[in-house]
A and B are shown apart, each in its own frame.
Chain A
């Protein structure tokens, strides 16, 4: 069965701090990996995606994620967060045409 785990439920940072959100998934076959973000009062939207190739992928607003196949991980990173990054972040692996979501990490960034 397919599953996903996000390690951090709530993260509080000051502006300019570095961010890393952990995501581990479980699926035996080929998997596509996504991070979605939900800003306060807005739709869920795509932050970045990995299908194949370079395991380091870049997304919008300076975010990046690294796919480590041996660790079944797809951690999200940003070197320097901004107040506007305050949002909820969801890791979402897709295997066998089924996209499942982690429980989410709520990020609060203070000026």
Chain B
């Protein structure tokens, strides 16, 4: 069964450092999502791509977070500088397109900021 690949699975960093997460969606999926899940809460959408274009980044803290999907395939989410409150699970998901489609999630990247 096709999967959404994410790396690294775990990342520990000190505050003010830069950190990056990578996601490879299911082949052929045009829509890619980055969610953040803080312990004890539901996932919160950070950014949504349709191919290489951002269609929703309203909840992305743009002063420190950036996301790109240059060729419309894999994607990178970067945080610089990391803050203590960024400790969370960062989930990537993909779907065939927007609309009434099911999202397939990756295993996530757990970030701990010390």
Are A44 and B44 touching (Cβ within 8 A)? no
Q: Is the Cβ of B45 less than 8 Å from the Cβ of A100?
A: yes
A101 near B108 with CB under 8 A, answer no
Q: Which of B20-28, B61-69, B70-78, B98-106 contacts A (4 or more CB under 8 A)?
A: B98-106
| Residues of A bordering B, CB below 8 Å | 32, 34, 36, 43-46, 49, 51, 90, 92, 94, 97-104
Contact B102 A44 (CB under 8 A): no
Assign chain B's interface to a size class: 20 to 34
Number of A-B contacts defined by CB within 8 Å: 44
- The 6 A-B pairs of least Cβ separation, nearest first, read A101-B42, A44-B105, A97-B98, A101-B43, A103-B42, A32-B100
Which of the listed residues B35, B42, B44, B103 has the most CB atoms from chain A within 10 Å of its own CB?
B42
